[in-house]
């Protein structure tokens, strides 16, 4: 197979992968918060939770409100004007692939341009006093093209390196704005775990920007496994909770059993059928979200 055929195949494969990753980054919903997520009646710690007043939802860890998309985005990295979409939990993988394939494409152009650039420099040098304006302009634009692709290669390489680093550290662009976060990053697990939380566990789909069940990022974007820093935080938090409950006379055996069934906050929410179970003493109430919110407000005002 001749060199030009290899070049032809290489370029078109990279180009198709580049266009697909661009399309998927732009068109994939980065991840939204399910209605009533984190809403528990009787939850004593609701004031500690982050709440979005605009979307009127509790915000899970690492979710942020995007003022351009006007919605809360799971594991929001940043809003990208180049793809007119937020980079979040479900499309961060495609974004990383977009940066990678863009880098390969411009690098390919850089290499292809080398003989042309060399040729143009020689010709320009030889004809520097000839006064042939069109000839000089023609070769000048070849040099300008190469200059542009070299600049794009450098910029994209730096950007790709920055994002790759974030993935390996299990961090997002927004989280880097907090200087304390990097020192106390409770989401930083092993390299493999951090990588799979963005790129999924299927090695083939680390490179292929297509949707497949095994190609999805690990987790759900709502709850995040934590390292020992997070465990320490939770331990302290639970200890305080336990001490507070011991001193509270309303914390009876019945509550303890239900706490075991429904989780630490003694209430549970099932997103599938929009049923909220309320645990207040012996009562377990199933109702639609709206009704439960009204009841919560009544309880608040009491």
Question: How crowded is the C-beta side of 205, counted as CA atoms within 13 Å?
Answer: 18
The verdict on 174 binding Zn ion (CB under 5 A) reads no
Non-local (6+) Cβ contacts of 169 within 8 A are 182, 185, 188, 194
What's the min distance (Å) between Cβ of 48 and Zn ion? 18
CA separation for the pair 78, 72 (Å, rounded) = 12
Which run of H or of E encompasses 276? Answer: strand 275-280
Catalytic residue among 66, 72, 80, 86: 80
Q: How many residues in the shown chain lie near Zn ion by CB under 5 A?
A: 10
What's the min distance (Å) between Cβ of 38 and Zn ion? 13
Angle between helices 133-169 and 191-199 (to 10 degrees): 120
What's the min distance (Å) between Cβ of 92 and Zn ion? 13
For Zn ion, the binding residue among 34, 66, 229, 274 (CB under 5 A) is 66
For Zn ion, the binding residue among 54, 122, 191, 211 (CB under 5 A) is 54
Both tokens assigned to 74: 């799971």
Token pair 């060199």 is found at 3
- Say if residues 37 and 60 touch (Cβ distance below 8 Å): yes
The verdict on 52 binding Zn ion (CB under 5 A) reads yes
Could you tell me which stretch among 60-68, 263-271, 280-288, 294-302 binds Zn ion (CB under 5 A)? 60-68
Nearer to Zn ion (CB atom), residue 77 or residue 196 = 77
Residue 66 known to be catalytic = no
Non-local (6+) Cβ contacts of 293 within 8 A are 39
Nearer to Zn ion (CB atom), residue 59 or residue 258 = 59
The verdict on 150 binding Zn ion (CB under 5 A) reads no
Chain-centre distance for alpha carbon 5: 38
* Nearest alpha-carbon partner for 31 in 94, 86, 96: 86
Binding to Zn ion (CB under 5 A) within 67-106 occurs at 68-69, 72, 79, 86
For Zn ion, the binding residue among 31, 32, 58, 65 (CB under 5 A) is 65
Catalytic residues: 80
Residues that bind Zn ion (CB under 5 A): 52, 54-55, 65-66, 68-69, 72, 79, 86
């Amino acid at each position: 197979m001749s060199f030009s055929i290899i070049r032809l195949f290489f370029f078109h494969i990279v180009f198709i992968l580049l266009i697909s990753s661009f399309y998927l980054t732009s068109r994939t919903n980065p991840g939204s918060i399910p209605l009533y997520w984190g809403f528990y009646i009787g939850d004593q710690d609701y004031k500690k939770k982050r709440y979005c007043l605009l979307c009127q939802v509790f915000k899970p860890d690492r979710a942020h409100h995007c003022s351009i998309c006007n919605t809360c985005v799971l594991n929001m990295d940043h809003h990208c004007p180049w793809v007119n979409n937020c980079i979040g939990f479900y499309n961060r993988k495609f974004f990383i692939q977009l940066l990678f394939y863009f880098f390969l494409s411009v690098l390919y152009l850089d290499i292809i341009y080398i003989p042309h650039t060399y040729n143009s420099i020689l010709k320009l040098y030889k004809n520097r006093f000839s006064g042939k304006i069109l000839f000089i302009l023609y070769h000048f634009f070849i040099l300008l093209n190469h200059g542009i692709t070299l600049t794009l290669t450098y910029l994209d390489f730096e950007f790709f390196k920055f994002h790759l680093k974030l993935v390996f550290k299990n961090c997002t662009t927004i989280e880097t704005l907090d200087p304390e976060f990097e020192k106390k990053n409770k989401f930083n697990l092993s390299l493999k775990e951090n990588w799979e939380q963005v790129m999924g566990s299927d090695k083939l789909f680390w490179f292929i920007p297509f949707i497949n069940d095994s190609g999805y990022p690990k987790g759900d974007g709502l709850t995040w496994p934590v390292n020992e820093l997070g465990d320490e935080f939770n331990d302290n938090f639970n200890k305080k909770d336990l001490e507070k409950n011991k001193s509270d006379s309303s914390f009876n055996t019945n509550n303890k059993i239900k706490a075991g069934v429904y989780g630490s906050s003694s209430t549970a929410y099932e997103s599938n059928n929009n049923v909220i179970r309320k645990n207040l003493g012996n009562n377990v109430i199933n109702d639609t979200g709206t009704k439960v919110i009204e009841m919560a407000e009544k309880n608040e005002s009491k």
